[in-house]
Structure 1
């Protein structure tokens, strides 16, 4: 390992690979520090390969394979950095796999059941553990050279359980976002939507980007799901501005897929939650006209005219 470190510092990537291959190919899983060094090497080789080189595809595949094998040994903060790099490199499946793993290990702890039985332990995020191994094996200068970003901003301390819990929740939210980005970057909105629906119960609803989820559902051609997300957004809205954004998202979910009648029905169902303004009745009149419902359009138009007369518009 000392020899490999020196090889990497000198930029002797081929020689470093020759030295590491016997350790990687030994029977059984390699020691963690060996796997981490192999990942460092493969990433360095990929970054060192020109974009127009015939070897670029091979270098990217090798980096992706190393990331799939050893990426989960990184600390959560480091995994987020690798996921971002994998997306940039076009390794969408690898990025999604690593993001899914990170989402699992940062999930909220399961509460003990009423009978007093202890639930199976949820996998814990190894914040700082494997990065500690790596720092002992590879000097910081090398890590900077090959482009890896190692962060200690999520390190846990024994006297700060609340901070640890907040950090874990933040990492979980970031892993969720990274998972969606991985699927969307690959052009798979249906996979992104499925991942989102599976993970929603583990997320803090106050931190959910409902507008993003509505858009993902629309891209996946699932207007009913988009409308459901918009309903949640509307129900959790704390001010009129947010209510309007959610209301427009709700109607837009159906309009985007050519269903004005469903847009009108969904909007009508939520009318009581909305401020009774000229903007509301103007929108409802337009929706009714798009849906071909002349009677409803006339009724909403009368409400609109009445408010405009009162307000002097």
Structure 2
């Protein structure tokens, strides 16, 4: 793949991991500080939702207040209603993403509303955001299908896409929340979305529950997608889906693949690996990834420790 423009890796572990693993606020701040040192400048930092439903993110305001503001920093969050959006504005979030599920059952379990009710709430939120200093977008959770139902294709996106444009929300996060999509399905749904919004208004977030996450990255680049969500050490989970594989595509593995494919990320891989190992040790949460166990592919003139095999 030829050299191309830089991809924006948005790190979602501060939200995705800690919504399922309760840790002190100081641990969250230390994670972001380490990631900043590694060169990451875009984060989904927390969610402004009911603390009784997601106690791990009850400190969202404190986290936003303590993050050092550095040049180029973008701090995003998730919201479920106008109250959450107002909290995000007050906390200084740059962007907020509504938690819209394409799956009716999960929609009710996650925020207690049907998809139709959620769209009505999003329309009211869009009017609120227009009068405040924040960019409002929306998730399309389970865009490719799931958590238990069949896969979804591009045609099934059409009614939802048209409705979103009608209410003035044209920045979307397509989330393969159940890890259903191989490259052909990635291309089909992203192409369908690109019929409605430009590539720079799309973010893709793959939850690597079925081992196909990395395979999605290069097709996304070929389609012109430059906004990609990943999760350090492949960590993450969801309180509404206990025991399921909820982690995102592993950030450090994604960075290695993209850089070797000639797609710059601006991220220091060794520092990222150190931070992934720190996170896995610090919280004791299930985590994935290859490169943090094997070391990166060595550059010219370098070497790495040989792998040991037990026969």
TM-score range, shorter chain: under 0.3
TM-score of the pair, normalised by structure 2: 0.25
TM-score normalised to the size of structure 1?
Answer: 0.25
Q: 1 or 2 for the larger relative contact order (CA 8 Å, sep ≥6)?
A: 2
- Structure holding more helix per residue: 1
Instruction: Name the structure with the higher strand share.
Output: 2
Which one has the largest radius of gyration? 1
